[in-house]
Amino acid sequence: MDGAIPIWFEIASYVFVVALLAVDFVVVHHRPHVPSMREAGLWVAFYSALAVGFGLILMVFAGANSGGEFFAGWLTEYSLSIDNLFVFIVLMARFTVPKKLQQEVLMVGIVIALVLRGIFIAVGAALIANFVWIFWIFGAFLLYTAFHQAFRSHDDEEETENKLIAFLRKRITMSEHYDGLKIRTNWEGKRVYTPMLVVLLTIAATDVIFAFDSIPAIFGITTNAFIVFTANVFALMGLRQLYFLLGGLLERLVYLKYGIAFILAFIGVKLMLHALHDNQLPFINGGHHVEWVPDIPTWLSLLVIVASMAAATIASLLHKPRTSSAK
């Protein structure tokens, strides 16, 4: 039988996470390098094992349902984080970020993402606790996001980023070269900004967009703020190493966006069903709960998430790109 998560377990988890992030940041800062495929693979496996171990321990202290919610949330956030890697790869290439700086840039991006998601989680938990109808907004937003995810164009994203770059270049003096992670440097006898400013601003903007997508999605799986936060942390922890491990392979995952879109749409529908089940709006069923609405269990959510990502990945790997033949 599931019970409340012990407060000591929550505190110990927060301390562990902060310590792990601090060690990771120090290692990256003092040893900037491009990790080999083997090194990146080992780190991804390590962080994945940590997440699995955490979920199993959570099951022991808080019950199977809490553990199941963590695994479903972690896999959802992990799938959205993989989609985030597409944007990071494009950014690194577009701004010609030196290979040895990419680890540090990614680490800064991950820290920004964690801070933003922590804020969004606190706000989301407060809204849910006070306004049940917020599930309608979350659900509708996820359905819109799912549609956008399935039919978005990379050209549209590039146009938005190019407008940001043009806006900044018109208003600030920028050097042609990087100076480590510094956003200001001396260039031709003047204090100017480096391209790193645009890189970090673009990554921060991307993190905000993905936080808007990911937080409503995981609140559709669990309303426990601790599980929501830890699922996000473990999903983001191995992202830096995953970037170097997958590299060009991400370009082959052509159907990944459809798998993610299906997951977002499924959770959006689940949120709306939950809103009906706990209805308080006077113009729906007279303000009473709609009892006949099914409550989608955690195990079914977990199954849908795993099946969607597996189907999208397998279909992508089996996909053969069209080649034009000369006549």
Average pLDDT over residues 202-212: 77
pLDDT given for residue 5 in this prediction:
86
pLDDT given for residue 30 in this prediction:
66
CA angle 105, 313, 315 (to 5 degrees): 140
Contact 32, 104 (CB under 8 A): yes
Is 322 a member of any domain? no
Bridge partners of residue 184, in order along the sequence:
193
pLDDT > 70: percent of the chain: 82
Contact 218, 73 (CB under 8 A): yes
pLDDT given for residue 165 in this prediction:
65
Average pLDDT over residues 67-85: 85
Task: Report the distance separating Cα 276 and Cα 253, nearest Å.
Answer: 36
pLDDT given for residue 33 in this prediction:
66
Is 2 a member of any domain? no
Is 227 a member of any domain? yes
88 against 42, higher pLDDT: 42
Tell me the CA distances in angstroms from 37 to 86, 107, 128, one per residue in order: 18, 18, 42
pLDDT at 57 over 80: yes
Is 204 a member of any domain? yes
Q: What is the pLDDT of residues 83-120, one digit of tens each?
A: 777 777 777 777 788 877 887 788 888 888 888 888 88
pLDDT at 50 over 70: yes
Question: Which of 75, 66, 114 minimizes the C-alpha distance to 226?
Answer: 66
Average pLDDT over residues 205-225: 81
Question: Which of 103, 109, 110, 87 minimizes the C-alpha distance to 232?
Answer: 110
CB atoms within 10 A of CB 67: 21
pLDDT at 12 over 90: yes
Average pLDDT over residues 112-135: 82
pLDDT given for residue 70 in this prediction:
93
Contact 261, 147 (CB under 8 A): yes
Confidence label for 325 from pLDDT (cuts 50, 70 and 90)? very low
DSSP, collapsed to helix, strand or coil, labels residue 187 as: strand
Question: Which of 215, 306, 316 minimizes the C-alpha distance to 258?
Answer: 316
pLDDT at 155 over 80: no
Average pLDDT over residues 1-18: 84
Tell me the CA distances in angstroms from 167 to 2, 160, 162, 164, 282, one per residue in order: 53, 11, 8, 5, 47
Is 326 a member of any domain? no
Average pLDDT over residues 230-248: 80
Number of structural domains the chain divides into: 1
pLDDT given for residue 1 in this prediction:
44
Contact 308, 294 (CB under 8 A): no
Is 327 a member of any domain? no
Confidence label for 289 from pLDDT (cuts 50, 70 and 90)? low
168 against 180, higher pLDDT: 180
Task: Report the distance separating Cα 117 and Cα 206, nearest Å.
Answer: 12
Is 325 a member of any domain? no
Contact 207, 112 (CB under 8 A): yes
pLDDT at 285 over 80: no
User: Which amino acid is present at 63?
Assistant: G
Task: Report the distance separating Cα 42 and Cα 302, nearest Å.
Answer: 25
Q: What is the pLDDT of residues 145-154, one digit of tens each?
A: 888 877 765 5
Residues 6+ apart with CB under 8 A from 205: 164
pLDDT at 240 over 50: yes
Is 71 a member of any domain? yes
Task: Report the distance separating Cα 52 and Cα 44, nearest Å.
Answer: 12
DSSP, collapsed to helix, strand or coil, labels residue 235 as: helix
Task: Report the distance separating Cα 116 and Cα 18, nearest Å.
Answer: 15
Q: What range defines the domain where residue 215 resides?
A: 7-317
pLDDT given for residue 53 in this prediction:
94
pLDDT at 169 over 80: no
pTM: 0.78
Instruction: For the chain, give the mean pLDDT.
Output: 79
Q: Give the burial class of 279: count Cβ atoms within 10 A of its Cβ; 0-12 exposed, 13-18 middle, 19 or more buried.
A: buried
Least trusted range by pLDDT, from 70-84, 187-201, 288-302: 288-302
pLDDT given for residue 207 in this prediction:
77
Contact 287, 281 (CB under 8 A): yes
Confidence label for 158 from pLDDT (cuts 50, 70 and 90)? low
* Beta-sheet strands, E only, within the chain: 184-187, 190-193
Tell me the CA distances in angstroms from 53 to 56, 82, 216, 229, one per residue in order: 5, 21, 25, 16
